Amino acid sequence: MSSTTTAANPVLRVAPATPAEAAAHFRASLAFHADVSDVAGALAGDGDPGFVVLDSRSTESWDQGHVPGAIHLPTALIPEQAAQLLDRSVPVVTYCWGPGCNGATRAALALAELGYQVKEMLGGFEYWVREGFAYETWEGREERAADPLTAPMSSADCGC
């Protein structure tokens, strides 16, 4: 491919990283993120999943729906309440509303600064519901049909 073609191509205007650089980047990304399906699968397994899930949204949002078994701790309250609710030896997976919200990122940062191992759940509560996983509200357990655009498979495992 000529340099003229490359310069006009928005995808290749900046050259891809070397394979070694890409591997390091994507390995690091997996250390910081977990997706909804992986979290749901681990929580559905037998026994302790090895992590806790933390919902960093407001009480009103929590009441409308949250991941079953999650701990509710709004981001602003993490510095004063994390030690009472969380064990530093257990990794924490944070989530907020969805991809358009950085609340889970801010919660993960606050927890990391306090010495917790933490990952962010990509997609947040929005994708938890969109993928058809059961959730809890102040009224009890609920579940919606999976959105075929986010969960085209009949199982939680997309094969990736």
The yes-or-no verdict on residue 2 having pLDDT over 70 is no
Distance from chain centroid for Cα 24 = 20
Q: Is residue 19 part of a domain?
A: no
Q: Is residue 80 part of a domain?
A: yes
The yes-or-no verdict on residue 34 having pLDDT over 90 is yes
Count up the domains in the chain and report the number. 1
- Structural domain that includes position 74: 34-142
Q: Is residue 156 part of a domain?
A: no
pLDDT in tens, 39-93: 999 999 889 999 999 999 999 999 999 999 999 999 999 999 999 999 999 999 9
CATH code, domain with 109? 3.40.250.10
What are residue 23's phi and psi, to 5 degrees? -60, -45
Q: Is residue 117 part of a domain?
A: yes
Q: Is residue 79 part of a domain?
A: yes
CA-atom Rg of the chain in angstroms: 18
> What percentage of the chain exceeds 90 in pLDDT?
77
Q: Is residue 132 part of a domain?
A: yes
Q: Is residue 112 part of a domain?
A: yes
